[in-house]
Chains A and B, each alone.
Chain A
């Protein structure tokens, strides 16, 4: 089993050492320590950090993330409130996915229009006119 020190985790996740310590203080992470007090992050901790980062990217609050982690730790025995929150967040992610898919198609269309134009990029010109 691999373990990583906080500096390695900070580099691999892009989070600061302070942020990692803060997450631990909030109870989002429960990191093992050596006898000398050095934090050792397991693969499971890294997976948990990845979950936190994705949830934060979706603008979930740290409080909400804490509840989702509770669900993640023990889905079978999660409280009703936590289950309801997880369902709400699932719906929220699905809605955002739909919006992202629409945006992806719009951007693809715009890029293709620019590529297909013999006169440069008419789309950008059009946007400039409207601005």
Chain B
């Protein structure tokens, strides 16, 4: 089981770097065999953002589902991943 995470950001979005770094930390803890993530600049791929219902940045989608709008805590992010993996990180 693997989860794919997208973090939606924009230029000059003050809080996006924090969201990205939290996601990076959580993803590294799980490892690339369990979590893969990518950053989506909404100006480059607005269709994808709109498709998932992203109306502001930062926002985080997991497995194609918008899960967080704003910057989640590492704990919330980790739990969201765990719920989808159905098992805790090693």
Our count of residue pairs bridging A and B at CB distance below 8 angstroms stands at: 41
Chain A: interface size category? 10 to 19
Choice from B12, B15, B50, B55 contacting A112 with Cβ under 8 Å? B55
* Neighbouring B residues of A113 by C-beta, 8 Å: 10, 13, 42, 56-57
Q: How far is the CA of A89 from the CA of B55 in the complex (A)?
A: 30
Report if B43 contacts A (CB, 8 A): yes
Q: How far is the CA of A113 from the CA of B42 in the complex (A)?
A: 10
A106: CB under 8 A from chain B? yes
Q: Is A119 an interface residue (CB 8 A)?
A: yes
Q: Which of B1-55 contact A (CB under 8 A)?
A: 10-15, 42-43, 46, 49-50, 53-55
A-side interface mostly: helix
**Chain B residues with a Cβ closer than 8 Å to the other chain, count:** 16
- Judge whether A112 and B11 touch: CB under 8 Å: no
Q: Could you tell me the distance between the alpha carbons of A116 and B12 in the complex, rounded to whole angstroms?
A: 9
Report the minimum CB–CB distance from B55 to chain A (whole Å). Answer: 5
Chain A residue contacts of B56, Cβ below 8 A: 109, 112-113, 116
Q: Is A123 an interface residue (CB 8 A)?
A: yes
Given known A-B contacts A113-B42, A126-B43, A105 and B55 have beta carbons under 8 A apart: yes
**Which 6 pairs, one residue from A and one from B, show the smallest C-beta to C-beta distance?**
A112-B56, A122-B12, A105-B50, A122-B11, A117-B12, A119-B12
Binding site for B on A (CB under 8 A): 102, 105-106, 108-109, 112-113, 116-119, 122-123, 126
* A-B contacts besides A113-B42, A117-B12, A126-B11, 7 pairs, CB < 8 Å: A105-B53, A106-B50, A108-B55, A116-B14, A118-B12, A122-B11, A122-B12
